[in-house]
A and B are shown apart, each in its own frame.
Chain A
Amino acid sequence: MTKPLLIAENISKYYDGRVACEKVNFELWPGEVLAIVGESGSGKTTLLKCLSMQIAPNAGRALYSLRDGRTESLSDLSEAERRFLMRTDWGFVHQDPREGLRMGVSAGANVGERLMAVGERHYGRIRSTALDWLNRVEIAGDRIDESPRNYSGGMRQRLQIARNLVTAPRLVFMDEPTGGLDVSVQARLLDLLRGLVRTLGLSVVIVTHDLAVARLLSTRILVMQQGKVIETGLTDQVLEDPQAPYTQLLVSSVLQV
């Protein structure tokens, strides 16, 4: 009965003939957290953008299992279907929260926007749902009417997460969600993310250059080098016993820290 939520088939993207990512294949199952790791420039963000339809791959395709049970190639969906998917069934957490938030409106409106986008027209209900979500991401309720401009980096990131999760998406893409934060703030955010992923049973594709993040959050890992997947497997196994020399190097340099 269960089947993969997201399938990547031979996804390739080139910029001016240069490989950004090439022939990437994987399956993401419901409830799985897949970490895409690799050093800067290895093609992680490009792959994530291809998967989440922010850019079109030059070759290959991504298939998604829709709520109604159909599995469709994302490129075959109409633009209306795609945009609906993006603001209901999917979430996207950017490294820079300013890209994912509306900085010009209050925190409450940021969380409420997706609800309004799917037709919620009761102010009181929108507000109480927003308060509930602020609470879940550990933002004090009395800051609901403030602009995220007043928020710290960590709070902005938590607000961005709440804004995405409010419609109970099944799949969340994250690109270096802890990247711009201080180490202590990172730890708190990671704990929070781990808790949310567990309690909500989210499926996640997370890009990170930080193996510690992958270790803490992910069930499976995909190691990229120069646009290609060089190793993949259960996170624990890959990090304990890396097979590819490049992965061994990555793991050992992490262990030195």
Chain B
Amino acid sequence: MVDNSHNQELEDLREAARPCFQCGICASSCPVFRVAPEMNPRMSVDSIITDGQVPAEGNEWLCAYCLMCEERCPMGVSLTEILMGIRNISSKEGKAPPDFVESAEALLARGCLSPTSNRSVKKRVDLGLPDLPQPDPEHVKLIFEVTGAYEVLEANRVAVKEEAE
């Protein structure tokens, strides 16, 4: 855990979180907090500022990314960027939820998240929709390679295995 880039990322998050004065407007606007009281965006920001840590509970993954909190924050705190930052850090540690990892695998395999099934292809034909040009798979691989997505994927695959054991 003496990874410097990690510390820098945390420091950036702290910088972004610092203006927060704990008014609670974000939480009162959050649709998830309304039904799942453990997901409190204010507390996520608070733990960054006060504890200087990524919140341990992993609630950042419960954010629906609706941007309500951020739109209303009176201090202009970009909560979704902070939550995304926390997720990026968690992902590097292999803590990404399996479904998200799956999405990334799909993107890698097909350049597309939704599965293309025979049924869906048939639907397009029936409706007279055009065949969509397909992206070059090499492009997809290149982006994964250069932006470090492979490593993040790998970290999470390993984590999944460990858990299984």
Please indicate whether A and B come from the same complex rather than being unrelated chains: no
**Residues of B near any A CB (own CB < 8 A):** none
**Residues of A near any B CB (own CB < 8 A):** none
